[in-house]
């Protein structure tokens, strides 16, 4: 049973470009969470999705960031017109039910560098 798969592992984008991060949850998991980790900081919640629904996006910046979890395929975190401050590690986690009640399994992250 493969774990949470994130790709790419490393992504370099120039300022103004779009970054697209993918997350395939563990088999049987229908809840996906995206977190951002800045150097020397903990993980900050961004968004919580179930299939085809955004449940909570309270941690998501209002502009340039969007997320989706379609019926088929991976969850996508999209960052438009990236800026240097977007450079961070982005982690996806999945759980079979809402992870406040159970373990959430994290992927290995995508390290985004904006140059």
Partner 1 sequence: QQQVKQSPQSLIVQKGGISIINCAYENTAFDYFPWYQQFPGKGPALLIAIRPDVSEKKEGRFTISFNKSAKQFSLHIMDSQPGDSATYFCAASIPGSTGNQFYFGTGTSLTVIP
Where do contacts with partner 1 occur on this chain (CB under 8 A)?
4, 6, 31, 33, 35, 40-45, 48, 55-56, 58-59, 91, 93, 98-101, 103-109
**Whether the Cβ atoms of residue 24 and residue 30 lie closer than 8 Å to each other:** no
Of the candidates 46, 60, 37, which has an alpha carbon nearest to the alpha carbon of residue 108?
A: 37
Query: What's the angle, vertex CA 94, arms to CA 43 and CA 92, rounded to 5?
Result: 40
| Pick 76 or 89: Cβ nearer partner 1 | 89
Complex with partner 1: residue 14 or 42, whichever CB lies closer? 42
- Closer Cβ to partner 1, 17 or 87, answer by number: 87
């Amino acid at each position: 049973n493969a774990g949470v798969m994130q790709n790419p592992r490393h992504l370099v984008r120039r300022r103004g470009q779009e970054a697209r991060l993918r997350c395939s949850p563990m088999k049987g998991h229908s809840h996906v969470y995206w977190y951002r980790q800045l150097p020397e900081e903990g993980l900050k919640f961004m968004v919580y999705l179930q299939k085809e629904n955004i449940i909570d996006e309270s941690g998501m910046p209002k502009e340039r960031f969007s997320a989706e979890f379609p019926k088929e395929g991976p969850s996508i975190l999209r960052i438009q017109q990236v800026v240097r401050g977007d450079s961070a590690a982005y982690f996806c986690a999945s759980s079979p039910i809402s992870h406040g009640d159970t373990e959430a399994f994290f992927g290995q992250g995508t390290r985004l560098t904006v140059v």
